[in-house]
Amino acid sequence: MFAAGPLPFRAAGSNPELIPRKLIAGRRKHLPSGVWSEIERVTQRDFGDVRSLQRILTLVLALATAGVVHAADDDADNPRTTSAKPEFSHGLIELKRQATARGTPEETTKTNLKFDYFPQDDVVSLLRLELPFPDDKTTFAGSIFDPDFGDAKIRVGFRAVDLLNHAVTSFAELTFPTANPESQGTGKYQISAGVKTVFPLSSGATWFGSPKQSFSAQVQQVVSFAGDPARKDINQTKFELEWRDAWPSGHYAKATAKPVIDWIGNGQTGAVLEVEYGFPLDPRWGLAFMAGGLLWGEGVPSTYSTRAEIKLVYRY
């Protein structure tokens, strides 16, 4: 390890130059360990090899600058995979407006407010509170200035573990029958647990900007308990199969298929497909647009006919 301070090196036939070590050392936490090792190896030898050092410094500065921009919708359930600046990775606040046609309970036109907090050093990686405000009118246009209150949710996410050479995250979620009026919710307490893993893919086509590509799979089991005995029980298995492209600029696009199995309904199935595009407004703010539609299984819980969504994210 070397101490911070001016780093002298001399090119053949030139005057000594000064490269401040603080410029390099101060960026260490943003760099992959392999890059840092190479920096140490080069800087601890004779500095006549100016080209090697210049290449390293160029890489350092490029990576440091890239950290300023982050995706508008980094994966909040796995925040350690995001590219957000460290000072903006403590949590986020998300305001979402959804217009939904022919949605099942909890899938109607609404405004949704979500608060995420990312603990830094613990088994727990995510603490979430989600507050839905469904419109009094359940049509696609809804009644944005006449909201009700829906069923509130809390989620606890856990840091990734290695399973068969894949990082797997998990979470537990609890839904409360807080809807007012009661018709805007399920009338039941719900508990669920889920797991998710991501598979990196090769970069996209050059003409498309060579985006990073990945495929992820999530499975979640939801069951109801207690609550209004007159309301229908809930026992569903939900899947999310996502293809994501992410560009260095922070823009991203993803397509997500969401099949569901309703065990209370004798194993009937349904699915929707959602396509989303998002981009950063600045290092803290992001904006995203989504359109979704039914693939099959009209009327199956957790499905809808058509949906349009706009989402604003603030990171802190």
Amino acid occupying residue 305: S
Q: For 32-42, what is each residue's pLDDT tens digit?
A: 455 445 445 54
* Judgement on whether residues 151 and 278 belong to the same structural domain of the protein: yes
15 and 42 assigned to the same domain: yes
Shared-domain flag, residues 56 and 91: no
What letter would DSSP give residue 176? Answer: -
Do residue 223 and residue 255 come from a single domain?
Answer: yes
Residues 200 and 287 in one domain: yes
Nearest to 215 by CA among 232, 238, 196: 196
Q: Do residue 61 and residue 179 come from a single domain?
A: no
Q: Tell me the pTM.
A: 0.73
| Tally of CB atoms within 10 A around 296 | 11
Residues 160 and 27 grouped into a single domain: no
Q: Are residues 163 and 113 in the same domain?
A: yes
165 belongs to a structural domain: yes
- Contacts of residue 198, defined as CB under 8 A and 6 or more positions apart, other chains included, come to 75, 78, 81, 166, 167, 214, 215, 216
Q: How many domains does the chain have?
A: 2
Closest CA to 299 of 262, 256, 257, 258: 262
Same domain, 60 and 83: no
CATH label of the domain that carries residue 294: 2.40.160.40
Q: Could you tell me the maximum CA-CA distance found in the chain, to the nearest angstrom? A: 89
Q: Give the separation between CA 241 and CA 218, rounded to whole angstroms.
A: 7
Q: Are residues 107 and 18 in the same domain?
A: no
H and E: helices and strands count for the chain? 3, 14
In angstroms, rounded to a whole number, what is the distance separating the alpha carbons of residues 22 and 3?
9
d(CA 48, CA 116): 50
Say yes or no to pLDDT of 251 above 90: yes
Q: What is the mean pLDDT of residues 2-30?
A: 41
Among 5-14, 78-87, 141-150, the range with the most confident prediction by mean pLDDT is: 141-150
| Surface-to-core class of residue 15, CB atoms within 10 Å of its CB (0-12 exposed, 13-18 middle, 19+ buried) | exposed
What is the predicted pLDDT for the residue at 115? 98
**Structural domain boundaries, residue 130:** 79-315
Tens-digit pLDDT profile for residues 186-241: 999 999 999 999 999 998 888 888 899 999 999 999 999 999 999 999 999 999 99
The SS3 of residue 73 is coil
